[in-house]
Structure 1
Amino acid sequence: MTETSTPHAEQPLSEETEPVATVGEVDDEDGVDEEDGEIEDGAEAAAPASGSGDGELFRQSEIAADYVEGLLDILDYDGDIDELVSNGRPMVEVVGGRLNALVGQRGATLEALQELARLAVFRQTGAPSRLLLDVGGYRATRRKELTAVAKNAVEKVREYGEPVRLDAMSAFERKCVHDVVNAMDGVESESEGVEPSRRIVVRPAD
């Protein structure tokens, strides 16, 4: 559908202009496909997988944790690795100092490491994994930043009545924004474009 916009909504909303805090496989379609079901704000805290009752998911966490541990050894990085199952998906958390290099700019390195860990799981199990990898609590921090970005976009849409396009984001980032927008009245969001330039458009609800 052809869209028109006022001067206020022509430019993508850049996160760099937002007053946010400084310090988140199967196709990652936003808000549609199952894979985008990242852990949401307010969700139940991750618990040790041994109590989850799901041995297969715990096994995936173990495989991924072993793979990540091997990478840390090669890179000579120190970090504590936790194997979890949260919200029905395997999860590996790495905590420690001097780990920023494993996150990269806007989480790009973290996303790549997550895909490698998923591949390691696939090679041993023969099935795709929805494993979630986090390093140094990056995803929780990033989620807070993206909440501010999403709310600012909603305010602009409500004020000017025109769509607002955000910067290109990863599937995890898009899911965070969709969650915020979908919880608000009078607005809706959808993704457009292809990776790595896939972005969210926030517009008035039909």
Structure 2
Amino acid sequence: MERQKNLIKTLIAEVIDKMSVEGSVEIMEEVDCPRFVIRTKEAGLLIGEEGKNLMALNSLIKKMADNLLRRDGIEERFVYILDVNDYQAKKIEDVKNEARVNAQRAIYFKREVEMEPMCSYDRRIVHSILSEYPNIKTESVGEEPHRRIIIKLNENVII
């Protein structure tokens, strides 16, 4: 795993260098997977409006990393988070908090709560965090880019 982390860290550094962005890359060990954090004064350029540039950069680096790892004989996908100045970490925490608040609303008012549309990554976070609530179930509905989560009471669980 150290080999993969070093390869990805180097790849990220090379990509931001080619973009003429000054910065450094840190590896933060998280519970589920490592988080590669780009530290830069040009965060706005890398993050973009509502994180769109960061999502695109993440897709590009994941594709390049997968190809490099495969070339090195590593077939297994390496899961990690790409972040810029802790933007992603704060966003993940905000999504988790919003999910918890909406779950409490569903429980208190005993009715479905519909969340705002969100990207698949954020929906995965919501499904994951609310799976800890036995009296709540979640369902993704709609089509991209308007796909959203409905939070429902789980009638099969007696509180």
TM-score (norm: length of structure 1): 0.62
Give the count of matched residue pairs: 150
CA contact (8 A) 1:79 1:94 kept: yes
Q: Counterpart of 1:66 in 2: which secondary structure? A: helix
CA-CA distance at 1:81 after TM superposition:
0.5
CA distance in 1, matches of 2:102, 2:43: 32
Counterpart for residue 80 of structure 1: 24
More helix by percentage: 2
Q: Can you give the 5+ residue segments of structure 2 that lack an aligned partner in the other structure?
A: none
Is structure 2 residue 114 aligned with structure 1 residue 114? no
CA-CA distance at 1:94 after TM superposition:
0.9
Residues 82 and 205 (structure 1), Cα distance of their counterparts in 2 relative to 1, 3 Å cut: same
CA distance in 1, matches of 2:132, 2:42: 36
Q: Which has the higher contact order (CA 8 A, sep 6+)?
A: 1
CA contact (8 A) 1:189 1:200 kept: yes
Is structure 2 residue 99 aligned with structure 1 residue 155? no
CA RMSD of aligned residues (A): 2.4
1:44-63 correspondence to structure 2 within 5 Å: 57-63=1-7
Q: 1:114-167: per-residue Cα shift (whole Å, max 9, x none)?
A: 121111111112233323211111122112322332133123312332222212
Q: Counterpart of 1:190 in 2: which secondary structure? A: strand
Q: Can you give the 5+ residue segments of structure 1 that lack an aligned partner in the other structure?
A: 1-56
TM-score (norm: length of structure 2): 0.77
Is structure 2 residue 125 aligned with structure 1 residue 176? yes
Q: Counterpart of 1:189 in 2: which secondary structure? A: strand
Identity %, equivalent residues: 21
CA distance in 2, matches of 1:88, 1:202: 24
